[in-house]
Amino acid sequence: MKELKSLNICYKKNLHNEFDNYIRSFTNNLLEYEHHDELIEIVNKNDVHFVITKYNFELLKKIRVLNNQIQIIAILDELNNTHLLEGLELEYVKFIQKVDCINIFIEALKDCIKNLDSNKSNIINLGNDFIYDNYNKSLFKNNNIVLLTKKEILFLDFLVKNHNCSLSYEEINQNVWDGLMTQDSLRSLVKELRKKAYKELIKNVSGIGYRIDIQAQ
């Protein structure tokens, strides 16, 4: 991944064999550390773009105080709702479980690079007290996680990523459905997602498809 070559990446030594090998192969500016105080010192003295580390909420809060724009990839044994809620507070945090494959790690890097370039938060206000974390594909209302099905997550994420644009039935079929989508199945999906969020969030565009409008944040 050539985009990594010019970035300063702070990386926890011996974090994960596959991840270790990949990151060392594609970056010229790898700042490795072993202990928490080393990480704090590196971030304090260098223009760091990414921190890739084992998840520790208190440690990452200190990192965020030093730099509120650093992209963080946090590795943990098992992701739970507490981690996702803490991620809202930290911002720019992508969680990866140790059991995840190298492809998920690479996709996380790509997401972080895009956000670094756009300088936009991964935490998106959807209105009516709903918040969407587009790094970790999670929907919240008043700091409570809204449980979504896999299909609902795919659909919501596709709409949010392409917000303020009308998405056709064909585009939704290609990007959300695994197989042939019917009009009834799509309407049913929209109905259920509106119930879990609010009706006005997903707008029907007559003869075209659906859209979500998000104001500049």
Q: What are the domain boundaries of the chain? A: 2-120, 124-211
User: Which single residue is written with the structure tokens 């370039």?
Assistant: 117
User: pLDDT by residue (tens digit) across 9-57?
Assistant: 999 999 999 999 999 998 889 999 999 999 999 999 999 999 999 999 9
Whether 117 shows a pLDDT value over 80: the answer reads no
Q: How far apart are CA 176 and CA 153, in angstroms?
A: 9
The confidence score (pLDDT) of residue 121 equals 86
The confidence score (pLDDT) of residue 1 equals 65
User: Which single residue is written with the structure tokens 């969407």?
Assistant: 132
Q: How far apart are CA 108 and CA 113, in angstroms?
A: 9
Q: Decide: 10 and 119 in contact? Cβ < 8 Å.
A: no
Does CATH number 3.10.129.10 belong to domain 2-120? no
**Please, which pLDDT band fits residue 209 given cuts at 50, 70 and 90?**
very high
Q: Which residues touch 188 (CB under 8 Å, ≥6 apart)?
A: none
**Please, which pLDDT band fits residue 114 given cuts at 50, 70 and 90?**
confident
Residue 206 three-state SS: coil
- Please, what is the end-to-end C-alpha distance for the chain in angstroms? 30
- Exposed, middle or buried: residue 63 (CB in 10 Å: 0-12, 13-18, 19+)? buried
The token pair that represents 59 in the structure block: 């440690």
The confidence score (pLDDT) of residue 5 equals 86
- Quick count: other Cβ atoms within 10 Å of Cβ 213? 14
Q: Decide: 166 and 211 in contact? Cβ < 8 Å.
A: yes
Estimate the crossing angle of helix 150-161 against helix 183-196, to 10 degrees.
90
User: pLDDT by residue (tens digit) across 74-95?
Assistant: 999 999 999 999 999 999 999 9
Whether 217 shows a pLDDT value over 80: the answer reads no
The confidence score (pLDDT) of residue 159 equals 98
User: pLDDT by residue (tens digit) across 130-183?
Assistant: 999 999 999 999 989 999 999 999 999 999 999 999 999 999 999 999 888 999
- CA angle, 136 as apex, 67 and 101 as ends, to 5°? 105
Mean pLDDT of the chain: 93
How many angstroms separate the Cα of 153 from the Cα of each of 147, 177, 192, 193? 9, 12, 12, 9
The token pair that represents 140 in the structure block: 């919240």
Q: 45-48 contacts: CB < 8 A, separation 24 or more? A: 46/8, 46/10, 47/8, 48/8, 48/9, 48/10
Whether 190 shows a pLDDT value over 90: the answer reads yes
The confidence score (pLDDT) of residue 135 equals 93
Average pLDDT, stretch 58-69?
95
List residues bridging with 132 in a β-sheet.
124, 139
Tell which CATH architecture fits domain 124-211.
Orthogonal Bundle (1.10)
Q: How far apart are CA 137 and CA 157, in angstroms?
A: 7
